[in-house]
Amino acid sequence: MSRLIIWRHGNTDWNAANRVQGQTDVPLNDLGRQQAVDAADMLVRLRPDVIVSSDLRRASDTAAALAALTGVPVRHDDRLRERFFGQWQGLTMAEVKESRFAEWTRWRAGEAAIGGGVESLDDLGKRIAEALQAAADLVPADGTAVVATHGAAARQGVGHLLGWPAEVMRTLRALQNCHWVELTHDSGRGWQVAAYNVGPVSDKPVPPPV
pLDDT at 60: 98
CATH of the domain at 55: 3.40.50.1240
Q: Is 81 part of any domain?
A: yes
Q: Is 99 part of any domain?
A: no
pLDDT at 172: 87
**What pTM value is reported for the model?**
0.94
Q: What contacts 192, CB < 8 A, 6 or more positions away?
A: 183, 184, 185
pLDDT at 29: 98
Q: Is 8 part of any domain?
A: yes
Query: What is the residue-level pLDDT of the chain in tens, covering all 210 positions?
Result: 899 999 999 999 999 999 999 999 999 999 999 999 999 999 999 999 999 999 999 999 999 999 999 999 999 999 999 999 999 999 999 999 999 999 999 999 989 899 999 999 999 999 999 999 999 999 998 999 999 999 999 999 999 999 999 889 888 888 999 999 999 998 888 999 999 999 998 645 555 566
pLDDT at 203: 47
pLDDT at 56: 98
**Number of C-beta neighbours around residue 46 at 10 A:** 15
Q: Which pairing describes strands 50-53 and 144-149: parallel, antiparallel, or unpaired?
A: parallel
Domain count, the chain: 1
Q: Is 45 part of any domain?
A: yes
Range of the domain at 169: 2-12+27-86+124-198
The answer to whether 42 and 18 are in contact (CB under 8 A) is no
The answer to whether 197 and 16 are in contact (CB under 8 A) is no
pLDDT at 207: 55
Binding residues for substrate: 8-15, 58
pLDDT at 53: 98
pLDDT at 204: 52
Q: Is 155 part of any domain?
A: yes
Q: Is 147 part of any domain?
A: yes
The residues that are catalytic are: 9, 82
| Euclidean distance between CA atoms 176 and 206, whole angstroms | 5
